[in-house]
A and B are shown apart, each in its own frame.
Chain A
Amino acid sequence: MSDSQETTSSQTLYEKIGGEAAVNAAVDIFYRKVLADYRINRFFDNSDMEKQAAKQKAFLTMAFGGPNNYSGQDMRNAHAHLVKMGLNASHFDAVMEHLGATLTELNVPQELIAQAAAIAESTRNDVLGK
């Protein structure tokens, strides 16, 4: 779904980053970083890698300012079982690191990375069930 944005003189963050193509490029890189990180990979351990990758894609789309319907409550519900497993701020920080590193690897300009990071950061309390 890349055609729902209105094209005006100022592009949205999602468009500037590169839209769906950018998400597709980012998802494998990001997911690999997460799985390789012993601090957090237990939260992503799922034999159904396709579903897990689809979730990463949803997350990246949201962080890139793309179309999404997630409410704060959805985020809480989706992560509640992870909070029970011990998900805390340090794990959230690690994911933020990987988000930044992924975008850097894709040569996204730093100012756009900062904007994406701010969007992802805004979900912190909901994700951690605070």
Chain B
Amino acid sequence: MRSITIGESTFSCQPDETVLETLLRENVQVPNGCRQGLCQACMMRSLDNSPPVLAQVGLKDTLQKQNYFLACVCHPEQDMTVALPNRQGASIEAVVIKKQLLTPDIVQLVLEYQSPFNFFAGQFVNLKRPDGLTRSYSIANIPQHENILEFHIRRLPNGQFSSWVYDELELGAQLTISEAQGSCHYLPGRAEQPLMLVGTGSGLAPLYGIIADALAQEHSGPIHLFHGSRDLNGLYFIDEMHELAEKFDNFHYTPCLSGEDIESDHIQGRAHDIALSSTETLNGWRVFLCGHPEMVNQTKRMAFMKGASIGDIYADAFHVIQAEK
């Protein structure tokens, strides 16, 4: 008989029982729906071993890679330690080693950590300051030997956390970071596939990481980045991106400005409009969308209608937490 551990509790999975059945029998609250591996309501994550392949059918490839599975069709092949999505709770400490303005509105923050930490470029973590205030930010770098995490933080009007990072956070200060989360990241395989990446403002952060990851893993298909902002303060890394395009023939960079009457050499228009009109079809493409929630959701739909498969669209909408009044 296999055992299922969740949080502090361990239960026995009866022969023929699924993980969902075991947990529900033991009165553990697990959202569920169809109970046949289709609706994905009961998605959970295995924290130790790879889950059975059959329990991962239909899940997004990035989620499969992170050992997510559907509890309702999971017959354990070995003992499992499981958690509901985003309830893993493990966190580590990290120290600020760099803080630099990229534009008047966006600051680059680099943290160094000591404990083992796994992530994919493009995932996000929750940053927690000592008094407990917590915000999610995307990781802009790929895993390296230096044990660092890079973030691009946009200063929001009345943003409690972002203002604090700007005005008060000092080098050497300590922050708590959650486990890396999110399914918007690059996976190797299908190296010849064309990639389209569209980001607004600090939505470049995860895309920057994803591009670095794709290039490091020798993605051979064309990689098209469209970075948009209303004004020049939201565009950054322009030189870095142009340099990257010089260095890699398959990488193409289009900075876009949507505001009116701005003197610049950049293309005028909204990044997602320009991106979508740049190609006849997205059939066979892999699409990454990060930034403003409205842009992300609209573009997701338009990219799908234009031929991209749902499974090939990776999105991360940056929802702004309203400041408490």
Contacts and interface: CB of A to CB of B under 8 A. Distances in A.
Interface of A: 1, 20, 27-28, 31-32, 35-36, 47, 49-51, 53-55, 57-58, 61, 67-70
B173 interface: no
Binding site of A, secondary structure by majority: helix, strand, loop or mixed? helix
Contacts of B101: none
Nearest to B54: A1
Contacts, number: 53
A54 B300 contact: no
Interface stretch (B111-119, B148-156, B303-311): B303-311
For the complex of A and B, 8 pairs with smallest distance between CB atoms: A58-B38, A47-B297, A53-B310, A54-B40, A54-B39, A69-B36, A28-B309, A58-B34
Contacts of A32: 304-305
Contacts of B58: 54, 57
Interface string B27-42: 0000000111111100
A57 B38 CA distance: 7
A49 B310 CA distance: 8
Nearest to B313: A49
B60 interface: yes
A36 B306 CA distance: 11
Interface in B4-59: 34-40, 54, 57-58
B36 A68 contact: yes
Contact of B40 (A1, A35, A50): A50
B60 A49 contact: no
Interface in B54-84: 54, 57-58, 60, 73
A31 B36 contact: no
Contacts of A53: 310
B300 A61 contact: no
A1 B73 contact: yes
B266 interface: no
Nearest to A57: B38
Contacts of B87: none
Contacts of A35: 301, 304-305
Interface string B277-312: 000000000000000000001001100110001100
A22 B225 CA distance: 34
A49 B36 contact: no
A49 B301 contact: yes
19 contacts: A1-B37, A1-B73, A27-B310, A28-B309, A28-B310, A32-B305, A35-B304, A35-B305, A47-B317, A49-B313, A50-B60, A51-B39, A51-B40, A54-B58, A55-B38, A57-B38, A68-B34, A68-B38, A70-B34
Contacts of B40: 50-51, 54
A33 to B, nearest CB: 10
A119 to B, nearest CB: 16
A35 B310 CA distance: 13
A36 B57 CA distance: 28
B262 to A, nearest CB: 30
Contacts of B73: 1
